[in-house]
Structure 1
């Protein structure tokens, strides 16, 4: 691995499968760590999940980039000894099995900590390693449901919907990466590793803003509101005359003034109209209807040009085609084309590296590995 990346020199062993654990491992790989993915003989199910391109899951190509692959059957005593040898000099190990699985294999925290006192163990599960629900199976859907997140993803009076991506698994993987960085920082001072415990429902609960305070202090249960930001207006999606949906955020007073002048509605700035935040909040539905009428009077290109000139935050609602044609994505290298060994070197487009560091930027040096491609590392 390149010496110019932030985590060069770290050895990370990824036992996780599907999404949460591999997301955590991908972030290590992006920033220079040597990530060794341990797979069962059947391989990670992500290899064949989702949309397949010539038999390879395209999500796998993204989540496994930059990693090595070794095959170990952890349910056997031979496999358990192989893993112990692999972990003897490792810095971080990542797992997202149901709590108790590592212990069943004789690979619990006590064993691993004695084997390698400097080792950091990142454990990602549905409900965490402790508590009355720890033993329950928990997928991302359940984490979204229990956190209150899925309750909010609906139009009023309609059933809750999925946001379209595996957000709970991804957020848990990101928190696992953050937790590992904190533990590595502590290890610099103490020399000792520790366990990082991430629960899917807690990763999502951490996103839920002030709903706890609203309930406990005010007796308010926040209800789903669809596309609006309650009490903040205008901040919504509006359809232009060509059918394109536009997101417009003109809710701050100075921005709203520029917006009103740009669309020729200076009367909105008069007293007892929409001039202040509080006035707009009281008449949010009414204002949204008027903005929607204006949006329908122009095609999306004209509307966005006008708003850009007035410095009003706005964008069309992008789909994949929009993203691939956008100059800003290209300028910031946010679509990478990575050669995938499982696809005979065909380049697979995927999201770029986040965050961007000025002197030790991340890089993707190779694509997702073939199953067992690096078994020589077990010798």
Structure 2
């Protein structure tokens, strides 16, 4: 406890203040403002609601005792244009809808405030990083972030695949059947996910259902494509085999084969979980105190970026952990990536540039690589030596592996008491869930995210775009920044845990709080993707005034009944193409955007182009701009 009685372990940034006109932002930025408010409160930051409005985004001010105030600004488009930006229109213009639509029957919204949540986390992380930089001698006092920057960050690996110099992937919306992809459906109507990280349980399961090995092998190859390409074109025979069996029988066969299974749960079901109240109150992070009494500031590293001079050791695979390391590198940290002798196998996944997978390069290009066999005594000793000179150790190993290798928090703290130990996991603190692989798609199913996406975007269930891996990576990097700031301010190191389940809860916080309090979640009166004379158009109206402006713009009396209103909108839009309607509706101050379906052409949009850089393939720039 501090002298005010505040628990600094529970609220790591107690004593800091965030002020802004959070209650008076443009309607399109309300989800982002709500996410900023919720996250700040979870970290113990005092939130001050100021009068006034910001006409084109969200402005706020982060104050840390003893430091210069840091101004944060969250805009819509990367070029600073004030009009037409919203959750839906940025999803449309950035290509995010196109990626989600590859396996969902066509370009369509995710149906959750994904870009807004992501951008809010990035905006706060930028201000935390700026504060760390000030403690270390830099003079950063402003950070700008955009919804467009958050959206392009989310699809960086897909942009890389679509723009590779050789073997570029042309995976357009609807390129695979929405009926022959996970999740699966049983004879009694239960929708569920299957998961395994090993081919052998998969083979045993399908062989037990009478599926020939060759066909099961084709299914396995398709199943693995989810993470890299957001498609999973399963053989129809596999889907049909499951549709003939009741869920209880399928679950029994899974247990026999060693395959994990999870039904798609609703947010109502999620409300009953014991871990939820803590996640809603304290956010997706768990901070464990470590060595205290350290020097309150660590000077040095006066670079152009706020984390210049800090060193991060990263031992992660797939997306969540590597993305967290990538973000810390973009903030200026020196990131040393631990790989197995011979390198990460994902380096060889096509398409390639200079012999390396472009998808892998997109997340790891700013890192140094150190190849170590951490299962050997020599490899562990070398890792401990690296950690002794580092500021952060970040990993996403399977639960229990760190303790098994004697590389847990206590082990590394002995060689470096000032180290921040960060774990980016799947399920978080609930050990009961650790029997299931903590992967994006299983957590989507368990958390209620998959059902939300299915209900609102008319998909089978969830997204094959790695929704939670990306948000989980941002959340993990954000937690590291909080821990570093706490170390700089209070002289206390420690451990920070985050998880995909925590990220899923963060994404659905507004809906969960409304359901907990017996309120119906508020949904925009108009939010959809509509056909035009040529191309698709995303339109979002978040209040009655915007719906009225839409009526004038279309010169059409819009019905109060959503289904009838959508039919009227479709009839009106048939007279012009998507680009023409985008221009016209923006003149009326409405959020509207043509849907970008071909990722290779995303850079042609001036609202998105500043987020991107073209080298051998299209790269996503840092989402932060510091001054």
TM-score by length of 2: 0.49
2:259 aligns with none
Question: Would you say 1:252 and 2:543 are equivalent positions?
Answer: yes
Structure 1 residues 158 and 349: alpha-carbon distance in aligned structure 2, compared to 1, 3 A threshold: closer
Q: 1:337 aligns with which of 594, 614, 618?
A: 614
Change (3 A) 1:160 1:108: same
2:624 matched to 1:355?
A: yes
1:300 aligns with 2:578: yes
- The separation in 2 between residues aligned to 1:157 and 1:308, in whole angstroms, is 24
CA distance in 2, matches of 1:50, 1:140: 22
Q: How many Å apart are 1:176 and its aligned residue?
A: 0.8
* Matches of 1:321 and 1:60, distance apart in 2: 18
Aligned partners of 1:135, 1:111: CA distance in 2, in Å? 25
Q: Is the 8 A contact 2:313 2:394 kept in 1?
A: yes
CA contact (8 A) 1:246 1:315 kept: yes
Gap change, CA 1:219 and 1:262, over 3 Å in 2: closer
Task: Pick from 225, 233, 251 the counterpart of residue 525 of structure 2.
Answer: 233
601, 604, 616: which one pairs with 1:325? 604
Structure 1 spans left out of the alignment, 5+ residues? 223-229, 269-273, 275-279, 339-346, 360-379
SS of 1:133's equivalent? helix
Partner of residue 335, structure 2: 35
Contact conserved, 1:99 with 1:135, CA < 8 A, in 2?
A: no
8 A Cα contact 1:37 1:67, kept in partner:
yes
> 1:114–1:136: structure 2 CA closer, same or farther, 3 Å change rule?
farther
How big is the shift at 1:310? 1.7
Structure 1 residues 152 and 51, CA gap change in structure 2 (3 angstroms)? farther
SS at match of 1:94: strand
> CA–CA distance in 2 between the matches of 1:298 and 1:30?
42
Mapped partners of 1:241, 1:261: distance in 2: 20
Match 1:286 to one of 554, 564, 570: 564
Residue aligning to 1:206: 506
CA distance in 2, matches of 1:301, 1:71: 50
SS in structure 1 of the partner of residue 375 of structure 2: coil
Report the Cα distance in structure 2 between the residues aligned to 1:61 and 1:31, rounded to whole angstroms: 18
Q: Is the 8 A contact 1:29 1:65 kept in 2?
A: no
- Equivalent residue in structure 1 for 2:312, among 12, 15, 18: 12
Which residue in 2 is equivalent to 1:277?
none
Tell me the equivalent position of 1:192.
492
Q: Distance in 1 between matches of 2:536 and 2:458?
A: 21
Aligned counterparts of 2:420 and 2:473: Cα–Cα separation in 1 = 15
Instruction: Please give the alpha-carbon distance, in whole angstroms, between the structure 1 residues aligned to 2:501 and 2:393.
Output: 22
3-state SS of 2:407 partner: coil
The alignment status of 1:91 with 2:391, answered yes or no, reads: yes
Question: Partners of 1:241 and 1:305 in 2: how far apart?
Answer: 15
CA 1:133–1:301 in 2, change beyond 3 Å: closer, same or farther? closer
Residue correspondence of structure 1 range 209-220 to structure 2 within 5 A: 209-218=509-518
The CA RMSD measured in Å over matched residues stands at 2.4
Aligned residues of 1:121 and 1:196 also touching (Cα < 8 A) = yes
**How far off is 1:52 after superposition?**
4.1
**What is the TM-score of this pair, normalised by structure 1?**
0.79
Contact 1:18-1:44 within 8 A present in 2 as well: no
Who is 1:371 aligned against? none
Match of 1:167 among 461, 467, 471: 467
CA distance in structure 2 between the partners assigned to 1:173 and 1:84 by the alignment: 24
Contact 1:109 1:121 in 2 (8 A): yes
Range moving further from structure 2, 244-253 or 172-181:
244-253
Q: CA deviation at 1:154?
A: 2.0
Structure 1 residue 329 displacement after superposition:
2.4
Give 1:137's aligned residue.
Answer: 437
1:98 CA drift (Å): 0.8
Match of 2:344? 44
Note the C-alpha offset of 1:336. 1.9
2:426 corresponds to which residue?
A: 126
Instruction: Give yes or no for contact 2:322–2:473 (8 Å, CA) kept in 1.
Output: yes
Deviation at 1:56, TM superposition (A): 2.6
Gaps of 5+ in 2: 1-300
Cα deviation 1:23-53 (Å, max 9, x = unaligned): 0100011111010001011422331346445
Distance in 2 between residues matched to 1:68 and 1:255, nearest whole Å: 50
1:173 CA displacement = 1.1
